[in-house]
Amino acid sequence: MLKFAIPVVRVSSAAAAERFFGGLGFEQVFSMRADDSKPDPCYMSFRRDDAVLHVSSFPGDGAAGTAVYVAVDSADDLHREFVGKGIEIDTGPIDQDWGTREMYVKDADRNSIRFTQHLA
């Protein structure tokens, strides 16, 4: 039986990822660096509510420019929150033909975090 999946998002800078995901309201759960005296490479985990993402600047961990879907209760409420924080919105909120309302943001590595609300 499958329980859940945790995507690994490839980043080039742990510090930039900490700022970006922190700005989205994610809390850093842990970080692991190959050398504690250097910021990168680093493997980190972020959580907001029930959503968990892992982020890595280690070579071979994923590819930059990926897309991750995060299910949300309200894309519009999240959009207002992000706009209020000055976060740049890439797309949306927009109703999709497949029955969702979505809003996208992108980090410095062009990873797309897609907040998706299922419509009734």
Paired residues of 57 in beta bridges: none
Tell whether 2 is covered by a domain: no
Tell whether 3 is covered by a domain: no
Tell whether 1 is covered by a domain: no
Q: How sure is the predictor about 5, in pLDDT bands with cuts at 50, 70 and 90?
A: confident
Paired residues of 69 in beta bridges: 114
The dihedral built from the CA positions of residue 23, 27, 29 and 30, taken in this order, carries a sign that is: positive
Domain count, the chain: 1
pLDDT tens digit sequence for 65-102: 999 999 999 999 999 999 999 999 999 899 999 999 99
Q: 82 is written with which tokens?
A: 């992000």
Tell whether 105 is covered by a domain: yes
Rounded alpha-carbon distances, angstroms, from residue 99 to 36, 44, 61, 70, 113 = 45, 32, 32, 15, 18
What is residue 4's predicted lDDT score, i.e. its pLDDT? 85
- Smallest CA-to-CA distance from 42 within 16, 7, 69 is with 16
